[in-house]
Every structure is written in C-alpha cells, then in structure tokens.
Amino acid sequence: MAKIGVLALQGAVKEHIQQIELLGHEAVAVKTCGDLLGIDGLILPGGESTTMGKMLERNDLLDPIMSLAQQGVPMFGTCAGLILLARKIKDSNIPHLGLMDVEVERNSFGRQVDSFEAPLSIPSIGNEITAVFIRAPHIVSVGKHVEILATYEKRIVLARDGQFLGCSFHPELTDDVRILEYFIGMVTDFIKVPR
C-alpha cells in the first residue's frame, strides 16, 4: 500500500483522497510540512494557481516539497497543480516549484464559463478518457526528456518528466481512475527502489 499526500490548500482535495482510498491506498491531506513525512507520492490538485503558490510560500511548503522531489518522490499536478510543477509559467512570476521541465500557459482554454469535457485517447493509459477542462492551462513546450502523453486540439494536455506527471484537466472529477492508477504505478515503482 502506498501513502500518497494530497496538497490540501484548496481545490478538489476530497475527490483525490476518495479515489486514492478507492484504489486501496492511504491518502494524507497535506497542509503543513509535517504532513509530508513518510509519503511515497504527492498530488497537487487544481485550484487557483496564484493563491496556491502564495499559500505554499506562506505555509513554508516550497522547500520541503522540493526536498522530496530531490529524493525522487513522484508528483502529479492537475490543472493548477501542473502550473505549480512547471519550470516556467508564461507571462507570470507566481511562486511555484519549477520542478517539471515544461512551460505552461494559464487559462489557455478560456474562463470558468468556457469549461468543457472532451474524450481523450492516451496510448499509454487508455481510450475514451473523459477530460474535464476548467480554466485549464496547457503545456506550451517541453524539455528533451519529457514524454508527451496526450494532446487536445494540438495542445499538450498530459506529459511526464521522469517522476513528475502533469495534466491540464481534472481526472478526479470523473469516475475514471485510469490516470490515477498510472500515477500510483509510478509511486509503487519508486517504493521498490532501495534507498
């Protein structure tokens, strides 16, 4: 059983926790650096990226999360979580982790009223995966070691950079847990590595 933290500053925290537990793993709501102790993976959920970045800073979570990343702990960012993970945010200087070798553009699919769902085919994960886009970012460019896992209308919406997984949409807002299962596979592979 993996112990997976979910950054609990705002956003769809409850939905992520429910799905982790549904898959038989332990979920921990992360609000302080003490909540990071002993976790095997970390999910950064959606929310408002500027607010979340400031709260990471205010709660002294930036350095502890970066320390976990240096230890190889897998991390999964959805929507605003992807923005926080990205190395570069186009036209923005909000506090963020800068761990994943991608550049993202915020709100690239429109405002809240422009939210939509679309089916995605993700060769390494599955077909007909419903992606829920809410004020979603997209990945503008990737580093040479980043694997592009899915695109929508020629925009990158799911990518992996080693231990980091980032998506533009909200997989936790559907009943389809295949993307979460993919991330948990990354976590269990990490657990198996002798340290």
The residues near 193 (Cβ < 8 Å, ≥ 6 apart) are 72
Question: Which candidate in 16, 25, 138, 170 is catalytic?
Answer: 170
Question: Which candidate in 16, 25, 79, 96 is catalytic?
Answer: 79
Is 33 an annotated catalytic residue? no
Beta strands of the chain (E only): which ranges?
3-7, 26-30, 41-44, 75-78, 86-89, 100-105, 116-122, 126-133, 138-142, 147-152, 155-161, 164-167
Contact 61, 34 (CB under 8 A): no
151-187 as b/e, with b when 16 or more CB fall inside 10 Å?
Answer: bbeebbbbbbbebbbbbbbbbbbbebbebbebbbebb
Task: Report CA 32 to chain centroid distance, whole Å.
Answer: 18
- Tell how strand 3-7 and strand 41-44 pair up: parallel
42-57 as b/e, with b when 16 or more CB fall inside 10 Å?
Answer: bbbbbbbbbebbebbe
> What are the residue numbers of the active site?
79, 170, 172
